[in-house]
Structure 1
Amino acid sequence: MATALDPPGPGRNVATLRKARDMTQTGLARAAGVSLSTVSKIEVGDRALSQGMAAAFARALGVTLAEVLGTDTVKPDESESLDALRATIRRFDLPGDSLVTSESLRHGLNELIKLRGDANLTTVLARLPQLLSDTTNYAHAAGSPEAWAMVADFYSAVYWLAARHRWMDLADLAVLKQKLAAERATPLVAAIAARDEAGAFLNSGDFDGGLAVVERAIVATESTLNGREKALGLGILHLRGLTLTGRMGNSSEAERHSAGAWQASEEFPVDVNAAGITFGAANTATHVLATAVDLEHHREALDVAQRLEGQDLDLPATRVGPVHMNIARAKLALGDRDGALASLADAWGAAPQMSKVHPTSRELMRVLISLHKRSNPVLTKLARKAGVHF
Structure 2
Amino acid sequence: MHALPEDHTGVRMARLRRERHLTQKAISELTGIPYSTYTKTEQGVIAATPHVIAAFARGLRIEVATVMGQPYTDELRADELDILIRPIREALDIYDLGADPDVQPRRLEDLKDDAEALLVSVRAGEIKRAAGNVAGLIEEGTSAAHSLNSTEGWLTLASFYRTAYDVATKLGFSDLAQLSLARMDWAAQRGSDAILGGMYQYLRALTYLREGKFAIGQRLVTRGLSTLQQADSTREREVVTGQLHLGGAVMAGRAHDQNQALSHLEEAERIAGRTGEAVKVHYLTFGPTNVQVHRVSVLAELDQYGEAVEANGDLTIPQDWPKSRISHHYAEVARAQMWTGRLEASFQSLLKARKAAPQQAKYHPTVRETYAGLEAAHRRLPESFLSYGSWLSAANGQVA
Q: Same fold (TM over 0.5)?
A: yes
Instruction: Give the match for residue 294 of structure 1.
Output: 301
**Offset of residue 207 of structure 1:** 1.3
Which of 195, 206, 212 matches 2:202?
Answer: 195
Report the counterpart of residue 214 of structure 1 in structure 2. 221
Q: Whole-Å Cα distance in 2 between the matches of residues 388 and 25 of structure 1? A: 32
Shift, 1:164, TM fit = 1.7
What TM-score, normalized by structure 1, do the two folds share?
0.94
AA aligned to 2:345 is G
* Partner of residue 94, structure 1: 97
Mapped to 2, the partners of 1:3 and 1:361 lie a distance apart of 15
| Counterpart position of 1:305 | 312
Distance change in 2, residues 1:297/1:5 (3 Å): closer
CA distance in 2, matches of 1:264, 1:38: 38
Residue number among 112, 120, 123 corresponding to 1:114 in the alignment: 120
- Report the alpha carbon displacement of residue 300 of structure 1 after superposing the two structures with TM: 2.0
Q: Which residue of 1 aligns with 2:84?
A: 81
The alpha-carbon distance between structure 1 residues 223 and 23, as it changes in their structure 2 partners (threshold 3 A), is same
Q: What is the Cα deviation at residue 167 of structure 1?
A: 1.1
- Shift of residue 172, structure 1, vs aligned partner: 1.3
SS of 2:5's equivalent in the other structure is coil
Report the CA distance between 1:8 and its aligned residue: 3.0
Matched, 1:366 2:372: yes
The answer for unaligned runs of 5 or more in structure 1 is none
Q: How many pairs are equivalent?
A: 387
Cα distance change, pair 388–138 in 1 and its aligned pair in 2 (3 A): closer
- Taking a change above 3 Å as real, the CA distance of residues 388 and 58 of structure 1, as seen in their structure-2 partners, is same
Q: Which string of whole-angstrom CA distances, capped at 9 and with x for unpartnered residues, describes residues 17-69 of structure 1?
A: 12222222211111111221101221222222122221100122232111012
**Distance between the aligned counterparts of 1:296 and 1:305, measured in 2?**
15
Structure 1 residues 95-146: Cα deviation after superposition (integer angstroms, max 9, x where no partner): 3144211121122112211210112211111011011111121111112222
Give the aligned residue type for 1:346: K
Give the aligned partner of residue 314 of structure 1.
320
> What is the match of residue 41 of structure 2?
42
CA distance in 2, matches of 1:230, 1:184: 19
Kept in 2, the 8 Å contact 1:289–1:302? The answer is yes
Alignment of 1:133-144 (within 5 A): 133-144=139-150
Q: How far does residue 3 in structure 1 lie from its aligned partner after superposition?
A: 6.7
Following superposition, the deviation at residue 87 of structure 1 comes to: 0.9
In the TM superposition, residue 5 of structure 1 has moved relative to its aligned partner by 8.1
For 2:245, the aligned partner's letter is: H
- Alignment match, 1:178: 184
- In the other structure, the counterpart of 1:262 is 269
1:330 to 328, 336, 340: 336
Q: Is the 2:4–2:372 Cα contact (8 Å) retained in structure 1? A: no
Q: Deviations over 1:271-296 (max 9, x none)?
A: 32234322111122211211110001
Q: Compared with structure 1, are the counterparts of its residues 329 and 171 closer, same or farther at alpha carbon in structure 2 (3 Å cutoff)? A: same
Given that 1:149 and 1:181 are in contact with CA atoms closer than 8 Å, whether structure 2 keeps it comes out as: yes
Report sequence identity in percent: 27
Give the letter for the 1:10 counterpart: T
1:124 matched to 2:130? The reply is yes
Instruction: Provide the C-alpha distance between the structure 2 equivalents of 1:333 and 1:36, rounded to a whole number of angstroms.
Output: 19
List runs of 5+ in structure 2 lacking aligned partners. Answer: 396-400
Q: Residues 231-277 of structure 1: CA distance to partner in whole angstroms, max 9, x if unpaired?
A: 11211211111121111111111112112211221233223223432
Aligned to 1:30: 29
For the residue of structure 2 that corresponds to 1:365, the secondary structure is helix
Q: Which residue, 235, 250, 256 being the options, matches 1:249?
A: 256
Corresponding residue SS for 1:75 = helix
- AA paired with 2:24? Q
Over residues 321-367 of structure 1, what are the superposed CA-to-partner deviations in whole Å (9 max), with x where a residue is unaligned? Answer: 11111111111111111111111111111121111111111111111
CA distance in 1: counterparts of 2:4 and 2:246, whole angstroms: 38
Matched, 1:283 2:290: yes
Aligned-residue offset at 1:225: 2.9
- What is the distance in 1 between the residues matched to 2:212 and 2:300? 17
Q: Aligned letter for 1:194?
A: Q
Distance in 2, matches of 1:121 and 1:78, equals: 9
- Please say which of residues 52-61 and 6-15 is displaced more in the overlay: 6-15
> Is 1:62 the counterpart of 2:61 in the alignment?
yes
* 3-state secondary structure, aligned to 1:308: coil
**What is the CA distance between 1:4 and its match in structure 2?**
7.4
CA distances 1:212-238 after superposition (whole Å, capped 9, x unpaired): 111011022124230212211211211
The separation in 2 between residues aligned to 1:45 and 1:263, in whole angstroms, is 41
- For residues 24 and 388 of structure 1, the distance between their equivalents in structure 2, rounded to whole angstroms, comes to 34
Tell me the distance in 2 between the aligned counterparts of 1:139 and 1:265.
Answer: 34
Q: Please state whether the residue corresponding to 2:285 is helix, strand or coil.
A: strand
How far residue 94 of structure 1 moved from its aligned partner, in angstroms, is: 0.9
In structure 2, what is the Cα distance between the partners aligned to 1:203 and 1:326? 15
Distance 1:6 1:22, change over 3 A: farther
Distance 1:196 1:3 in 2: 35
Q: Deviations over 1:294-319 (max 9, x none)?
A: 0012222122211213x534321111
1:271 partnered with 2:278: yes
Residue 7 of structure 1 and its aligned partner are, at CA, apart by 4.0
1:9 is displaced (CA, Å) by: 2.9
The answer on 1:226 being equivalent to 2:229 is: no
Query: Are the counterparts in 2 of residues 11 and 363 from structure 1 also a CA contact under 8 Å?
Result: no
Q: Distance in 1 between matches of 2:366 and 2:28?
A: 21
Structure 2: how far apart are the matches of 1:373 and 1:312?
34
Kindly tell me: are residues 224 and 321 of structure 1, through their superposed partners in 2, closer, same or farther at Cα, counting changes over 3 Å?
A: same
Asked if the contact 1:45–1:367 (Cα under 8 Å) also holds between the matched residues in 2, the reply is yes
Distance in 2 between residues matched to 1:369 and 1:147, nearest whole Å: 50
In the alignment, the residues of structure 2 paired with residue 338 and residue 158 of structure 1 have an alpha-carbon distance, to the nearest angstrom, of 36
